[in-house]
Amino acid sequence: MLRIIVWCLPVEKEAAYNRLHQALVEIAKKAKALGVEGEDDMLCLFPGDLMEYGLGQEIVFEAKGRCLTRLSNPMGKRLAKAWGGAIKQLYPDANIEGEVRTSSGLAYWSSREEE
Which pLDDT value is given to residue 115? Answer: 63
Question: What's the pLDDT at 5?
Answer: 98
User: Is the whole-model pTM more than 0.85?
Assistant: yes
First to last CA, the chain: 32
Q: Could you tell me the CA-to-CA distances from 45 to 75, 79, 112, 113 in Å, in that order?
A: 22, 17, 23, 25
Question: SS3 for 13?
Answer: coil
In sequence order, the 6+-apart residues with CB closer than 8 A to the CB of 51 are: none
pLDDT in tens, 22-51: 999 999 999 999 999 999 999 999 998 888
Res 105 pLDDT > 70: yes
**Dist. CA 99–CA 105, nearest whole Å:** 10
| Domain total of the chain | 1
- The whole domain housing 95 covers 2-114
- What is the CATH classification number for the domain harbouring 72? 3.30.429.10
Q: ∠ CA(51), CA(55), CA(61), 5° rounding? A: 110
Render pLDDT for 49-98 as a digit per residue (tens, 0 to 9): 888 888 899 999 999 999 998 888 899 999 999 999 999 999 999 999 99
